[in-house]
Amino acid sequence: MVNQPRGPDGRWVKYKYGAGALATAGVVVAATSGIGGGSAASLDSAASQALKGKSSSKKSAQKGRQSEAWQRLGWRQLKKTAKRELKCGPHSFGEVQRFFLRHPCVDLDRMIVTIGDGAGNTLAVSVAWVKMPKASEASELKRLIDKDGTGNVSLYGEAQHGTRFTGKNYDSRQAKKLVVIAESAPVTGRPSEATLETAVEVAVEFPAP
């Protein structure tokens, strides 16, 4: 992962937003530039709906119902592209790539989706599913990826690492031999930080294809 902020204890920091922060994010974005043609009220409403739907959205995501998961947030999936690889080394960088040279993965699935957030903005969400031979190797990989400045799997949808996905809006999870990595980034307009963070929290729940 790259450019992920770290706290005093050296661990990477995730952005957390409560209901007030979600509403504020929508109002501030609208007030600054009127992006996406949306009003403060429409942005606030979209953010509130996403907050209310997050729990049910994650449940749909865990069942592999991707379009339904976004719909529960009041969003819409506009486009999806996916690809499978047999090797992780050529599709990674930094210390993570060196890790794969020592511990080759079994399978790599990558996907990128474009989402409309219901407030006139679009965002890209990229997800990678890495299957390792052993759960212990998957655990080691997750610890490495979660550290700042160690590299990452090259996310689908960018010509060079860091050109779109910077690690700012990031999440990961491990399920036995599987490591799932998700990042989000704006495409058009200015989706709020809360929206970008919610997107990865949902996307990381998707099961491997």
Cβ atoms < 10 Å from Cβ of 49: 17
Q: How confident is the model over 33-50, as a mean pLDDT?
A: 50
- Is 30 or 159 the better-scoring residue by pLDDT? 159
Asked whether the beta carbons of 107 and 178 are under 8 A apart, the reply is: no
Among 16-20, 92-96, 112-116, 189-193, which is the least confidently predicted range? 16-20
d(CA 193, CA 149): 21
Task: Quick: pLDDT tens for 169-194.
Answer: 999 999 999 999 999 999 999 999 99
Tokens of 172: 């990961």
DSSP secondary structure string for all residues of 138-205: HHHHHHHHHSTTSEEE--TT-SSTTSS--SSSEEEEEETTEEEEEEEEEEES---HHHHHHHHHHHTT
Among 24-33, 35-44, 128-137, 145-154, which is the least confidently predicted range? 24-33
Work out the pLDDT band at 43, boundaries 50, 70, 90: low
- What pLDDT score was predicted for residue 53? 84
- What pLDDT score was predicted for residue 167? 87
Task: Quick: pLDDT tens for 6-31.
Answer: 444 444 444 323 333 333 333 333 33
- What pLDDT score was predicted for residue 36? 42
- What pLDDT score was predicted for residue 160? 60
Is this structure's pTM higher than 0.85?
no
- Is 33 or 195 the better-scoring residue by pLDDT? 195
- What pLDDT score was predicted for residue 69? 97
Q: How confident is the model over 113-118, as a mean pLDDT?
A: 95
Rounded percentage of the chain residues whose pLDDT exceeds 90: 67
Find the DSSP H helices in 3-134. 19-33, 40-62, 66-71, 94-102
Is 50's pLDDT higher than 90? no
d(CA 62, CA 59): 5
- Is 14 or 117 the better-scoring residue by pLDDT? 117
Work out the pLDDT band at 163, boundaries 50, 70, 90: low
- The chain-wide mean pLDDT, for the chain, equals 81
Cα distance between the two ends of the chain? 23
- 77 burial (CB, 10 Å; 0-12 / 13-18 / 19+) is middle
- What pLDDT score was predicted for residue 110? 97
